Copies of this chain bind each other. A is one copy, B any other.
Amino acid sequence: MKPRLYYAPGTCALAAHAALREAGAEFDLELVSFADEQQRSPVFLAMNPLGRVPVLETEHGVLTENPAILAYIARAWPGSGLDSVGDLWVTAQVDSFNVFVGSSLHPAFAHLFRPYRYADGDEHRTAVSAKAPQVIGEMFDIVEARLGASSAAGPWVHGARFTTSDPYLCVMSRWGARTGVLKAERHPRVLAHLALVQARPSVAQALAAEGLTSI
């Protein structure tokens, strides 16, 4: 069977979507309508009890958690250019960055977008949302410094080579630009990286397929 990616437009599933295109994979794309709360349906919760996208259904079974999905895509299509499994250290660095995005940068946005997960009571939720831009900004400061350190080697997160970290960061940067947290004077490298990644054919095709445009 072809792998099937469950996604919702503009969510972090866009990273896995672009990675599949970058890898040259044949795959099916399955929309999960958040408006209809399909992510809370019994069928979907049986695949991912967290009720979140992306979910990748493969011939082996169901895989959840974006950094794990991205690592799987990089390995399952060797020769795609995403695969760095032959290099233990490059693989570790890509894993590390993607886990940082998944456990720090993305959750910082979740506090902005979905404060009800973290506190009960309107006034407390407002306080959680209000704090989030500060944390998001600090997380992007870390990314900005990192892009500065790798920029001598090349334009991508890990230097000369495009990896799954690039579309994953791109999704976060799109949210950062849309919410106004990313600022040209504070995060110039992040914004330059965003423009570059959105122009990458695999990412541009994924955006178009999800009905989205570049930011």
B contact residues around A130 at 8 Å (CB): 119-120
- Flag the segment in A87-95, A167-175, A190-198 that touches B: A87-95
- Are the C-beta atoms of B92 and A103 separated by less than 8 Å? no
- Are the C-beta atoms of B65 and A95 separated by less than 8 Å? yes
Given A118-B131, A124-B128, decide whether A64 and B100 contact each other with a Cβ distance below 8 A.
yes
In angstroms, Cα B128 to Cα A68, docked, is: 29
Chain A contact residues: helix, strand, loop or mixed: helix
The contact string, 1 if C-beta is below 8 Å from chain B, for chain A 92-124, is 110110111011101100010000011111011
Cβ of A145 < 8 Å from any Cβ of B?
yes
In angstroms, Cα B92 to Cα A124, docked, is: 37
- Are the C-beta atoms of B76 and A88 separated by less than 8 Å? yes
Cβ of A204 < 8 Å from any Cβ of B?
no
Chain B: minimal CB distance from A209 (Å): 24
Cβ of A188 < 8 Å from any Cβ of B?
no
In angstroms, Cα B92 to Cα A96, docked, is: 15
Chain B: minimal CB distance from A97 (Å): 8
**Selected contact of A99 from candidates B58, B65, B121, B127, CB within 8 Å:** B65
In angstroms, Cα B75 to Cα A75, docked, is: 14
- Are the C-beta atoms of A96 and B128 separated by less than 8 Å? no
B contact residues around A49 at 8 Å (CB): 142, 145
Chain B: minimal CB distance from A25 (Å): 14
The contact string, 1 if C-beta is below 8 Å from chain B, for chain A 59-82, is 011011111110110011000000
Give the B-binding residues of A (Cβ under 8 A).
49-50, 58, 60-61, 63-69, 71-72, 75-76, 85, 88-89, 91-93, 95-96, 98-100, 102-104, 106-107, 111, 117-121, 123-124, 127-128, 130-131, 135, 142, 145
| 25 CB-based A-B contacts, threshold 8 Å | A50-B142, A65-B95, A65-B99, A65-B103, A67-B67, A67-B95, A67-B103, A68-B92, A68-B96, A72-B92, A75-B91, A76-B88, A99-B99, A99-B102, A99-B103, A102-B102, A103-B107, A111-B118, A118-B118, A118-B128, A119-B127, A119-B128, A121-B127, A124-B124, A128-B128
